[in-house]
Amino acid sequence: MKNIYVNRPLLPPLEEFVPYLEKVWDNKWLTNNGPFHQQFEQQLADYLGVKYISVFSNGTLALLTALQVLRITGEVITTPYSFVATSHTLLWNGLTPVFADIDPKTCNINPEKIEQLITSATSAILPVHCYGIPADVERIQQIADIYGLKVIYDAAHAFGVKKEGVSILNHGDLSILSFHATKVFNTIEGGAIICPDEKTKKRIDYLKNFGFTDEVTVVAPGINGKMNEVQSAFGLLQLQYIDKALELRKSISERYCNALSDVEGIRIVDVPDNVEWNYAYFPIFIDNRYPCSRDALYNKMKAAGVFARRYFYPLISDFPMYKMHKRGDISESVSIANSVLCIPIYPDLEIEEQEKIISLIKNATAGDD
Ligand code: T4K
C-alpha cells in the first residue's frame, strides 16, 4: 500500500483547467486584479455567504495585511494552540502576542481567560477557529465591545463553516482564510480577507497592492499580497468541486467517529450540533488510559506508512521567539498539544486506507511504547 499522508490536495480534472489557462494566455493579463481575480472574488463571496472578500497570494500575507488594515498596535491576545503563522504575523507587525489558554473541548481560545490579560496596551483579539470549529464568537465579541478591542479571526481552517446557518466568517471585524494546498479548499497557495463593508474592502485592496489608490498615489506602506490569474482561475474551477469534496470528508469523518468513539483512552473532537463543519482535520486526543503514548502511536503509524501529524505541537509559545511572551496559565493548551494526533482526512482517502489507519489505532499495545 502506498504512503498515506495527513492531507492530500483537492485537484480538479487537469483537462478542465486547460481552457482556463488558454484564456490567461489569450488575455495576457497575469496578475493585478485581472478578470479571473474579479470573477473569483465575486463567486467566492456568493459561495461563502459573505459581503466582501479580497483574495491574496497566501493566508499569511492576508493576516499580516488584516492587522495593518485596522492599524492594530501594542498587545494582541491570541491562542498558543495554532499554526505558527498566527503569531508570526504579530511579530512581523511589531506587535506583542499575549497567549490565553484554550478550552480543551473546542481547542479554541477560552473567552473566560481573555479579560485577565487585557492591559492598556491591548488593541485586539486574534482567535483561531481551530480545525474549522468555531470559536465562541458571541462571548469574544462581548468582551471586545466592553474593552473597545478589534477582533480578527484567523479562519485559515474554516472555509465553508456555518453556525446557525450563517457563515462563521461574518463575525469580528475581519476574518482571514488560507487556500493552501493542504486546506479544504485550495488555490495551490492562496488566502483571503473577509470584511463587512465596501470601504474596508477598498482599503484592503490598496494595502495588498503596495498602497496604490491610483497610478500616482500611495496612501500606506502596502505590500504585494495579490493573487495571480492562474491561482484565481484554479480557484474558480475548484468551486465546482468543493461541495462534493465536503461530502466525501463528511463520510470519512463519520466512519472515524463510528470506529473510534469507543476506544478507551481516545477522545474525538466535539462539534456542536448547530455547526455545519467542514471536516478540515480529524484530531484525536490520547490520554493515559490508551495502551501507549501519543508519540508511540505516531511513530508506529509512521513505520507503517501512515503520516499523521501532531497539529499543534509544540505550542507556539514554546518556540524560542515566543518564550518571553508567555503569560498566564496555559495548562490546557499544554495538555492538548501533548495529546493530539491529526489522522489523515481528505476526499480521496480510500476505504481500505482508512481501515488500515483505524486498525493501527485500535490495535496499539503497551509494547508500542
Ligand atoms: N493560520 C493557520 C491557523 C494555519 O493553519 C495556517 C497554515 C496559516 C494561518 C497560514 O496560511 P498559509 O500562509 O499557509 O496560506 C501546513 C501548511 O503549509 C500550512 O498552510 C497550514 N496552515 C499548516 C497547518 O499545515 P506543514 O508544514 O505541516 O505542511 P506539509 O508540507 O508538511 O504538508 C502536510 C502533508 O500534506 C504532507 O505530509 C503531504 C501533504 N501534501 C502537502 C503539500 C504541500 C501534499 O500531498 N501535497 C502538497 O502539495 O504546514
pLDDT in tens, 239-276: 999 999 999 999 999 999 999 999 999 999 889 999 99
Find the mean pLDDT for residues 106-117.
Answer: 97
User: Which residue shows C-alpha cell 500611495?
Assistant: 218
Best mutation site among 55, 65, 83 for ligand 1 pocket (most ligand atoms within 8 Å of CB): 83
Q: How confident is the model at residue 326 (pLDDT cuts 50, 70, 90)?
A: low
The 10 Å Cβ neighbour count of residue 276 is: 16
Under 8 Å between Cβ of 106 and 137: no
Cα–Cα distance, 231 to 192 (Å, whole number): 12
- Nearest atom in ligand 1 to the alpha carbon of residue 59 is 15
Residue 340: phi and psi, rounded to 5, are -85, 145
pLDDT score of 26 more than 80? yes
Residue 285 beta carbon below 6 angstroms from any ligand 1 atom:
no
135 CA distance to ligand 1 middle (Å)? 21
Residue 126 beta carbon below 6 angstroms from any ligand 1 atom:
no
- Nearest atom in ligand 1 to the alpha carbon of residue 60 is 13
Under 8 Å between Cβ of 155 and 179: no
Cα–Cα distance, 109 to 87 (Å, whole number): 14
Q: What percentage of residues in the chain have a pLDDT greater than 90?
A: 96
pLDDT score of 288 more than 70? yes
Cα–Cα distance, 125 to 140 (Å, whole number): 8
Residue 178 beta carbon below 6 angstroms from any ligand 1 atom:
yes
Q: Which amino acid is at 6?
A: V
Under 8 Å between Cβ of 103 and 110: yes
* pLDDT score at 366: 81
* pLDDT score at 40: 98
28 CA distance to ligand 1 middle (Å)? 31
Burial class (CB in 10 A: 0-12, 13-18, 19+), 264: exposed
The overall pTM is greater than 0.85? yes
- Beta-sheet pairing, 217-218 with 266-268: unpaired
177 CA distance to ligand 1 middle (Å)? 13
Residue 58 beta carbon below 6 angstroms from any ligand 1 atom:
yes
pLDDT score of 327 more than 90? no
Best mutation site among 6, 109, 161, 182 for ligand 1 pocket (most ligand atoms within 8 Å of CB): 182
345 CA distance to ligand 1 middle (Å)? 13
- Beta-sheet pairing, 266-268 with 282-286: antiparallel
* pLDDT score at 75: 97
Find the mean pLDDT for residues 295-300.
Answer: 97
Find the mean pLDDT for residues 164-170.
Answer: 97
Q: How confident is the model at residue 290 (pLDDT cuts 50, 70, 90)?
A: very high
Q: Give pLDDT tens digits for 193-215.
A: 999 999 999 999 999 999 999 99
Q: Which residues of 321-333 are buried (b: 16+ CB within 10 A; e: fewer)?
A: ebeebebeebebb
Cα–Cα distance, 278 to 14 (Å, whole number): 25
Cα–Cα distance, 356 to 369 (Å, whole number): 20
76 CA distance to ligand 1 middle (Å)? 24
* Closest Cα to atom 36 of ligand 1: 7
* pLDDT score at 24: 98
pLDDT score of 33 more than 80? yes
Residue 60 beta carbon below 6 angstroms from any ligand 1 atom:
yes
Cα–Cα distance, 164 to 90 (Å, whole number): 31
Residue 333 beta carbon below 6 angstroms from any ligand 1 atom:
no
7 CA distance to ligand 1 middle (Å)? 9
Residue 175 beta carbon below 6 angstroms from any ligand 1 atom:
no
pLDDT score of 176 more than 70? yes
Residue 248 beta carbon below 6 angstroms from any ligand 1 atom:
no
At a CB cut-off of 8 Å and minimum separation 6, what does 339 contact?
Answer: 285, 286, 287, 294
Q: Which three cell numbers stand for residue 309?
A: 501529524
Judged by DSSP in three states, 233 sits in helix
* Alpha-carbon distances, residue 221 vs 69, 128, 203, 212, 218 (angstroms): 11, 26, 12, 9, 8
* Closest Cα to atom 48 of ligand 1: 181
The residues that bridge with 77 in the sheet, in sequence order, are 98, 125
Average pLDDT of the chain?
Answer: 97
Residue 311 beta carbon below 6 angstroms from any ligand 1 atom:
yes
* Closest Cα to atom 20 of ligand 1: 180
